[in-house]
Homo-oligomer: A and B are copies of this chain.
Amino acid sequence: MYPEIALLNYQRSALRWDAWGTQGTDFAYPELLPAIVKMVQREIGAGHLLSLRELDLDEIKLPASRLPSSDLQLLLRITGKEGIRTDRQERVLHSCGQSYYDVIRLKTNSLREFVDAVVYPENESQIVKIIQLAAQKNWAVIPFGGGTSVVGGVEALRKKQKAILSLDLMRLNQIIDISTEDHLVRAQAGIYGPELEKVLQEKGFTVSHFPQSFEYSTLGGWIAARGSGQQSGKYGKIEDMVYSARIVTPAGIFESDAVPAASTGPDLRSLLIGSEGALGVITEATLRIHPLPQTRSYRAFLFPRFEDGVAALQAATRAGWPQTAMLRLSDPEESRMLGLLSRLRHSQTATGRIKQKVQDILLAMKSLSEHVILIVGLEGAERDVAFTARKMKHLARAHGGMDAGTSAGNSWLRGRFNLPYLRNHLIPAGIGVDTFETAVAYSRLRELRENVYQTFPSVCKHGRIMSHLSHTYPDGVCIYFTIFFALENDTLKQWHRIKDAVSAAVIRSGGNISHHHGIGVDHKSFFKKSNPTAYKWITDFKAALDPAGIMNPGKLVD
């Protein structure tokens, strides 16, 4: 398996309820943490930082379960005893996702709604029965894959429902079939990313869907959230990977036709992708697989100006070389921040300090002391990758770029799933960190970025914003913003103020509210405002498939 991927402990008892990851996993450079916190503090211009007291799980204000034991008995008859949990750890863990807003609500003890029980069905027929029972009893049902939603996708919410069930798909984690002839894999929805890749890579294949949440997210979650992996340039977004999918809705089971392409009316498969648990529970899917690439080459190029990097990225995307797995361009702010981080790492050792010195001199000589960094990921047969790498170097040079070798790229690859752990250490130190992302046509990219960069400081005094482009298309690009800021006393209000302002700036600049994070609760109002008819249509479809409105109420649409 790719060396940067690890099979983790997915037992619910091992997952951390108030932070990213499982017990025993952490940020890869713990020795740098104090210096990083100090650096960010300097960057955001905050003289003093709030510090958040760590809460014990026992301190969480958890109301008693609304499910009487008679109801639990009914569920138990479906799933067996091992399929029902109502203890504190399980209920808290399943009551929100992994957004910044989720974490600060937990850390400030301000989460108001909790799931009343967690059910762990073993198979699809148990899911059908659970949904039937929930419809009859008027319970909300929240499908739960890896629980890594950053938009409130698994948040405990109910409308008029009497109770809330979290339906955890963890036990549906089997690979059903691998067709090496058709290049397809069929698996159950609850399988984790590394579990799926392990089996496939041992057979010489890969799906290569690598969202940053990859280690903690599941097949069903990828589809429900309409996510995207870092290598979408070669392997596509999740909607390009899904060959067919199966969903249990309150109105019945649906499975899309398992064919390579169709003109049998509207594509219903694409209704499942992005359904966010609001139409039903995705139980199985067939994904396209690819022979494991013989080699992966991740190489950095430095450009003097952001515009040059954008032009190179656009030209490389349009060239359509089949080896291009990723084009990731950090803007000047993010490039500078990456430079500071790398400087911190180098400062730890004597050789590192020398390396840094040499690098500084070289960059100054090339007038690239200020630069933007483009990481180009190529995957495929050795010969093809080498050939495309030559073409890429030529293209970069034509746009004023300098080949900076493979070390930044390899370091990115190694650390690709590690960055979220940093948040675990920043928030307690009083530093908020959040991200938001959108897709936009090339012609409006500049305007969008400028509008967001003007908006953020107007709603956040002590903060820093940076961005990168990833997931590139012939017609446009995904731009992904990261913000750091000093926590205010009312952290929740602060978050809403920032979120509202930047989201509005994105929408009015021709972006959409999400390229790959989804709608959930957090993006619902912006989605509704930006395309009221789309919102209305989805509401209509939900009414047809979930007439009682029990499936993940309050997510996607109201």
Contact = CB atoms under 8 A, between A and B. Distances in A.
Interface string A506-550: 000011111111110001000100110110011011011100000
Interface stretch (A83-91, A111-119, A439-447): A439-447
A257 B227 contact: no
Interface stretch (A248-256, A326-334, A486-494): A248-256
A257 to B, nearest CB: 5
A322 interface: yes
A545 B534 contact: no
Interface residues of A, number: 82
Contacts of A515: 259, 261-263
Contacts of A260: 439-441, 473, 475-478
A226 B257 contact: no
A478 B259 CA distance: 10
Given A533-B253, A534-B256, A514 B262 contact: yes
A556 B442 CA distance: 37
Contacts of A543: 544
Contacts of A252: 533
A474 interface: yes
Contacts of A268: 534, 537-538
B533 A544 contact: no
A272 B533 CA distance: 13
Given A252-B533, A264-B519, A443 B540 contact: no
Interface string A317-342: 01111100000000000000000000
Contacts of A320: 322
Contacts of A253: 533
Q: Which of A261, A275, A510, A556 has the most CB of B within 10 A?
A: A261
Contact of A475 (B243, B475, B538): B243
- Classify the secondary structure of A's interface with B: loop
A224 B500 CA distance: 37
B182 A443 contact: yes
Interface string A219-262: 00000011110000000010100010000000011111111111
Contact of A258 (B183, B243, B265, B441): B441
A262 B439 contact: yes
A361 interface: no
A540 B179 CA distance: 34
A442 B274 contact: no
Nearest to A322: B320
A184 interface: yes
Contacts of A534: 254, 256-257, 264-265, 268
A260 B511 CA distance: 9
Nearest to A184: B475
A202 B167 CA distance: 57
Interface string A35-46: 000000000000
A266 interface: yes
Given A243-B475, A259-B476, A533-B255, A265 B441 contact: no
A442 B181 CA distance: 7
Interface in A307-323: 318-322
A443 B556 CA distance: 38
Given A264-B513, A545-B537, A257 B530 contact: yes
A299 interface: no
Given A183-B475, A537-B545, A514 B274 contact: no
Nearest to A253: B533
A148 B300 CA distance: 51
26 contacts: A182-B475, A184-B475, A226-B267, A228-B263, A239-B267, A254-B533, A257-B512, A258-B441, A259-B438, A260-B440, A261-B439, A261-B471, A261-B515, A261-B516, A262-B514, A263-B519, A264-B513, A264-B518, A265-B275, A266-B272, A266-B538, A268-B534, A271-B271, A290-B474, A540-B545, A541-B544
In the A-B complex, the 6 residue pairs with the smallest Cβ-Cβ separation, listed nearest first, are A260-B476, A226-B263, A540-B544, A320-B322, A260-B473, A267-B270
Interface of A: 179, 181-184, 225-228, 237, 239, 243, 252-268, 270-276, 279, 288, 290, 318-322, 438-443, 471, 473-478, 510-519, 523, 527, 530-531, 533-534, 537-538, 540-541, 543-545, 556-557
